[in-house]
Chain A
Amino acid sequence: MLENKQPEDDDTQTTGAKEGQGMENDSKDIRVDAEPSAVALKCTDLLGIEYLDVEDINLILDTAEQFKEISQRPIKKVPALRGKTVINIFFEPSTRTRTSFEIAAKRLSADAQSISASTSSLVKGETLVDTALNIEAMYPDLIVMRHSRPGAAHLLARSTTARVINAGDGAHEHPTQALLDALTIRDHKGRFEGLRVAIIGDIAHSRVARSNIHCLNKLGAQVVVAAPPTFLPLDVESLGVEAHHRLEPAIEGADVVMALRIQLERGGKLSFPSQREYFNLFGLTKERLSITAEDSIVMHPGPMNRGVEIASDVADGPTSVILDQVSNGLAVRMATLYLLAGSSKDVETAA
Chain B
Amino acid sequence: MRVKATVMEAAQMDRTLMRISHEIVERNGGTHNLVLIGIRTRGVPLARAIAAKIAEFEGVEIPTGSVDITLYRDDLSQISPNPVVQKTDLPFDLQNQTAVLVDDVLYTGRTVRSALDALTDFGRPLAIQLAVLIDRGHRELPIRADFVGKNVPTSSDEIVEVRLESIDGENRVVLCEMPDSAGEEASEDV
Chain A residues at the B interface, C-beta cutoff of 8 Å: 2, 7, 9, 11-41, 63, 65-67, 69-70, 73-75, 77-80, 82-84, 108, 338-339, 341-344, 348-351
Contacts and interface: CB of A to CB of B under 8 A. Distances in A.
B127 interface: no
Contacts of B81: 2, 38-41, 339, 342-343, 350
A75 B120 CA distance: 9
B11 interface: no
Contact of A15 (B76, B136, B162, B169): B169
Interface stretch (B16-24, B49-57, B105-113): B105-113
Interface in B148-188: 159-163, 167-170, 176, 179, 182-188
21 contacts: A2-B81, A16-B168, A18-B169, A18-B190, A24-B185, A26-B182, A30-B111, A32-B159, A32-B160, A40-B80, A40-B82, A73-B121, A74-B122, A75-B121, A78-B72, A79-B76, A80-B76, A342-B81, A344-B80, A348-B80, A350-B183
B44 interface: yes
A232 B30 CA distance: 69
Contacts of A350: 79-81, 183
Which secondary structure dominates chain A's binding surface? loop
B74 interface: yes
B104 A13 contact: no
Which secondary structure dominates chain B's binding surface? loop
A127 to B, nearest CB: 32
A66 B68 contact: yes
Contacts of B78: 28, 351
A30 B188 contact: no
Contact of B41 (A36, A63, A66, A83): A36
Contact of A19 (B74, B79, B120, B190): B190
Nearest to A59: B84
A161 B176 CA distance: 42
Interface in B37-74: 40-42, 44, 68, 70-74
Contact of A74 (B77, B88, B123): B123
B82 A12 contact: no
